Structure 1
Amino acid sequence: MQLMTIIEAEARMQERREGGYAVSARYDRRRGRVVVRLSTGVELTFPASLAQGLAGADPDALSRIEISPSGLGLHWPALDADLSVPDLLQGVFGTRSWMAAQLGARGGRARSDAKTSAARANGRKGGRPKRASG
């Protein structure tokens, strides 16, 4: 694997900053939301409960937000939680595995007419069939 030179790394960071970088960040206790103001003038607001490491956290801990020197990262020292500003702009609120687990949990709770009918039909048959030991 080839290592990136400092010049290449700086160019890559500059590309990522073109979409905007954080100039301020705060936690709005009243609304339970993180508010990030970007260099472009855009204000990004999201519920803390949506982000990995922030859900269920104490409001005092959520209020202490550090912005990385590049403006591309947010860090909550009391929670040891980090989020990427470019990822937040794309709707990514955690790692891939964490996001997949969140989506899977939501899908399992989903209700549809087909799912309800199948559950009722299985119930009339005595429930879910037992696994065959093998």
Structure 2
Amino acid sequence: MNTAVNAIEPRLLNVQVTEDEIVARLVDGRTISVPLAWSWRLSEASEEQRRNFEILGDGQGIHWPELDEDISVEGMLHGSPGRRPPSATEQAA
């Protein structure tokens, strides 16, 4: 059995952030989306803050400068939601 392996790293062509999800169109024609809730920073941000993003490098990820948040294409493809850091109360316990 022959299996084709695509050695090309998936890259973003464009991104849309809706009220509920991040939708990314990749250069290879795929469209992927993840729930906005995967990023606690984005889910708590204003609509204006969510719209203020930039595509990193050659399309490897998305960066929200106001929120100090980054999401990689690999993370979107492999299901890697961000985890909220423990609060001071949780750290003291």
Q: Distance in 2 between matches of 1:52 and 1:89?
A: 18
2:71 to 53, 58, 83: 83
Question: Which residues of 2 match residues 9-48 of structure 1 at below 5 A?
Answer: 15=7, 18-29=8-19, 32-48=20-36
How much has 1:52 moved relative to structure 2? 4.4
Q: Which has the higher helix share?
A: 1
Q: Distance in 2 between matches of 1:65 and 1:44?
A: 17
Q: Which has the larger radius of gyration?
A: 1
RMSD: 2.0
Which of structures 1 and 2 has the larger relative contact order (alpha carbons within 8 angstroms, sep 6+)? 2
How much has 1:79 moved relative to structure 2? 0.9
8 A Cα contact 2:11 2:60, kept in partner: yes
Q: Which has the higher strand share?
A: 2
Structure 1 spans left out of the alignment, 5+ residues: 1-14, 102-134
Percentage of matched positions with identical amino acids: 28
If the length of structure 2 is used for normalisation, what is the TM-score?
0.72
Structure 2 spans left out of the alignment, 5+ residues: 1-6, 87-93
If the length of structure 1 is used for normalisation, what is the TM-score?
0.52
How much has 1:39 moved relative to structure 2? 0.9
1:37 aligned counterpart, secondary structure: strand
